[in-house]
Chains A and B, each alone.
Chain A
Amino acid sequence: MVIDKSIVRRYVILSVLASTLPVLSIGLLYDRFTGNALEQLLGEKISTHLTATANRLGAYIEARRYQIETLANYPGISGFASARKGETSDEVAALLQIESDLPDLYGILFFAADGRLQLAVPGQAASGPPYWADRPFATAGLPKTTLGETEIIGPMPATGGDSGWLLLRHPLRGRQADQITGYIALHVRLASLTEQLGANAAAGALQPLLRTPAGDFNTVGQAAAAHGEIVAGPEILPGWRPLLEVESMAVLKSFALERRVLLIAALVSAALIVLLFYRLSQQLRKRIGLLLSGAKAISSGQLDHRIAEHGSDEIASVSHAFNAMSGKLKEHLERAVRLEKLAVLGEFASGIAHEIRNPLAAIKTSVQALARRESDPKRTQLLAEMEGEIDRLARVVSDLVDFGRPRHPAPGAVSVRELARRISAIIEPEALVRGVHFSCQGNPDLEVWADPDHLQQIVLNLALNAVQATPAKGAVILRATSENGQVAIEVRDTGCGIPAELLGRVSDPFFTTKTKGVGLGLSISRQLCELNGGQIGIDSAPGHGTVVRVLLPIAKPCQPS
């Protein structure tokens, strides 16, 4: 039969979908959510960071501009640089000393109106030029940015062992406001300005930079070349603005890695689930296929077919049930066939017996009459033999009648002890004649629930068969034991045994291996046994004797003697 809609296939597909779709859906949703969140956060963070940075930078420059503007307008400052030694104002000198004594300033410089450096007031952080003349100090060539009256000169990048700096220079005016007599400048530490950029917003990913007309500088005041994507902040002065160098790969590095891991995990999970279910479905289909083929074989009459049973799961149970069912079915069919056969034979035998019995009686009567009148001893002997054969024929007919129309059993408790005694009384003389040792063993206290006559006939038939099959000096043992709530009556002989090919047929009616007999004894025993609710089994091998085992219901439990 072709299966159009395999339950296994549907089950597998549904299971795969049910297990992978949530994983993939959640993964995709999470990916999208985190992507959007990161983008939004980064965007907001960068924007906020740049605005705040611009404010800090602007405030710092404004504070320095305010400082230099204040100094430039302080009375006495404009003439301080050009005053003769000893004529300088102590107050102004003290003010300059205090003002320059900041870690952000290298010093305060005075320039002449022509831009020539006139005077340097070193601050606490002063080092290198112009405070020491071992290296030149020059402002020529540096960019200038105008902030009102104040000029921002530089920045001068750090070189060799010198730090970077910038000047905030303010004009000094004489008595006439339009006359510039010189300049005063704050010599500002460049790193103090770039430190306003703050720490890296995201270490390794966002690099804050300060763009100036002299180039880009990093947080520690070193000249820096941007390699990544640049996000520019608000302009704080013409040409001056904070930047964020965004190394997008670095920003998204950890996220992308986690995203990739998540995707791979989802895909691997889905693949594993599909593989797992595929393997399961293959196994399921294979085993269900075996079940189906077994069912097909049984349905086509192959009752000997057995389905392989693996494990102890549901399919194994179904396989076992199938096997048991086919076994029972075969047994039932065999029994039905046998019974049918027996019924037919019985009808036939009864008919024959009925037709033979009356003529035989007449013949016997005639033979007996003839024998009484006969004086010739030879004829008398002949008639006696004839009568004997007529008796034997009558017994055969009687057997046929018994076989064809068995009496319904009248069960009762039959003592094993009594049964053994009766059988021994009948069998022992025959055994003695044949030189066979007959003995009874087992539990004599057992009681069998069976028809007493039927039981005696069953055991007698079996014992006779055994004695007849056992050569001289052999032994026949009748044993009775209790077994699983039944009584097992076993007849064991040391005879020649039955070949395997004949073993299935020995209980068929009219089958015999003996020269005498009609082959009904074992058939009748089986028939009677089954009528009494029992079973009969034969175990034999050539050269190893035969064991016939009868199982019948027990009448009451007994203890072994």
Chain B
Amino acid sequence: MIQPSEEKMLFSFCFRKHLTDPLLAAGRCAAWRVRLAIGLAVIAWPISGQARIEFGASPRSADATVGCMFPLAGRAAIYGRDSIAGMKLALADLAAELPPGTAPKLRILVEDDRSKASVATRIAENFITRDKVRFLCGVVSSGVAQAVSRVSRARQVIMIGTDHASSRLTIEDFHRHYFRVSNDTYTSMAAGARYLANLQKTSGWRRMAFIGPDYDYGHIAWRDLEDAMASQGVRYEMAGHLWPRLYEPDYTAYIAELKAAKPDVIVTALWGGDFIAFLKQALSSGLLDKTRLANFDTGGNFDVLVSLGEQAPSGLILSARHHNNWPETARNRKFVDDFHHLEGRFPTYAAEGAYAGIMAIGRALALAGKRAGNEQLIRTLEGLHLSLPEDPEGYVSHIDAETHQIVQAQAIGEVVPNSAFAPAKVMLGRWVVYRAEELQPPLDLVRSRRVRARGDTGSPAPPPIPTQ
């Protein structure tokens, strides 16, 4: 990762002097190019270095190579580690579930995208050109995922998104090569709006504030919630929108703003370490004494529950893309137990997302044939039904052909004492479950959003976005 100091050094070339001393400037410019090359090499270094993790089939025996990008360091590193474990479980389950000899042999490559679009783009390009991957996979941050999705579109390589949630990827930014196998912001916020509508009937809340990370995921989460609230006919007063940067280290100023705004309910789209940091500060500042905090997309993640210790704040309303204690099905219990057996700890939702990604690839290859072309694979994936740990009894997830988004149910819960999943002392309980069918975006909404994104409604057309 290029630190700010490195960045400054990288660009500390001679333009000021260039204006007055062209000869000196030329020499300095040459030196700067060397530095730029070193910088780019630094970015490229993990691709060929030890940061790569490889497992599954060998290059020679593999039916397909899957190139995955996850953060493996920093605040979001747990997502990468859990995703790798989830993919290993998927490989084992594919071999066990499919008839002997029919399970596709997958070679899986994982590299640290450092939560940087530029790094992920470079990794994706290298996966495609050097490793000849047939699938791109993974990515936690929606901002990074959009950059990789553009590579996928440009290079016509199928991308299976496992752990990012901006609904733009399947609606406005939709392309045929992109699929997603975890709940997106539309699904989460549709469930959240229904929960809030019901809560309003019991508690009478009126003022709502929203705080989300200042990148596309946070903003589209708000748009999706706003639309879902409107569709549910919920009347409320907006107390404010706050947009801290991704990986914000200190939420003091934002919490002060929220306290001053005096909302009844705060909905947040902060995730991972950001949400844990915010939650700790919010709890210690007394923000949640009179205000309820809801995080419908990621807040119920296992690492968040562990971070709460023995605290079980009554005002928390949380959900996530997978829960270790819901649904109580044999499939989910097996997944959680297998993960615990493999890693010695319980999984975050990222594990199930990555598991679903490899399961989707494996099932699609098994159905379409190991040598099937992209178009055949896309047609197979469109409408693919997958039985996943997240599915409640009697339901099987499937990929919607219109959006390439997996269609799943969502459960929202409150924090309750539960020490069955150590080291967590609390888990989610008092579940409210929303059926998958009611959380799907209506087709006309999908289409109208795509039209607006293309600028077909009188608004200026978007400028071209470079995809190198």
Contacts and interface: CB of A to CB of B under 8 A. Distances in A.
A97 B116 CA distance: 10
Contacts of A75: 29
Interface stretch (A113-121, A257-265, A353-361): A113-121
A134 B11 contact: no
B168 A122 contact: no
A126 B168 CA distance: 12
Nearest to A126: B216
A103 B245 contact: yes
B257 A220 contact: yes
A101 B117 contact: yes
Nearest to B211: A220
Contact of A162 (B15, B36, B219, B461): B219
A126 B215 CA distance: 6
B420 interface: no
Contact of A124 (B143, B220, B468): B143
B242 A220 contact: yes
A220 B254 contact: yes
B462 interface: yes
Given A162-B219, A200-B253, A220-B253, A130 B117 contact: no
- Looking at chain B, what size class is its interface with the partner chain? 35 or more
Given A88-B468, A133-B462, A134-B449, A161 B15 contact: no
Given A118-B463, A136-B459, A98 B118 contact: yes
B143 A132 contact: no
Interface string B269-289: 000000000000000000000
B121 to A, nearest CB: 6
A42 B319 CA distance: 46
Interface string A474-504: 0000000000000000000000000000000
Contacts, number: 157
Contacts of B243: 158, 163, 191, 220-221
Interface in B238-269: 240-247, 250, 252-254, 256-257
Please tell me the size bucket of the interface on A. 35 or more
Given A103-B247, A127-B219, A189-B245, A122 B146 contact: yes
A308 interface: no
Contact of B220 (A66, A67, A73, A127): A127
A97 B121 contact: yes
Contacts of B29: 75
Contacts of B449: 134
Interface in A132-164: 132-137, 158, 160-163
B241 A136 contact: no
B257 A218 contact: yes
A124 B141 contact: yes
B142 to A, nearest CB: 9
Contacts of A127: 214-216, 218-220
Given A67-B11, A124-B116, A200-B253, A134 B452 contact: yes
B377 to A, nearest CB: 27
B462 A195 contact: no
B213 to A, nearest CB: 8
Nearest to B121: A97
Nearest to B458: A136
B447 to A, nearest CB: 13
A82 to B, nearest CB: 11
A75 B25 CA distance: 12
A96 interface: yes
Given A125-B143, A125-B215, A161-B226, A120 B253 contact: no
6 closest A-B pairs by beta carbon, nearest first, are A133-B462, A133-B455, A93-B468, A127-B219, A134-B452, A127-B216
25 contacts: A63-B8, A67-B11, A88-B466, A94-B468, A95-B36, A98-B2, A101-B116, A117-B463, A120-B462, A122-B147, A123-B143, A124-B116, A124-B144, A125-B215, A127-B218, A132-B168, A132-B453, A133-B459, A133-B462, A134-B449, A158-B243, A161-B219, A191-B244, A199-B250, A222-B242
Given A110-B463, A123-B117, A220-B253, 14 more contacts: A98-B2, A102-B7, A117-B460, A122-B465, A125-B245, A133-B452, A133-B453, A133-B460, A134-B452, A136-B459, A161-B241, A192-B245, A221-B243, A222-B257
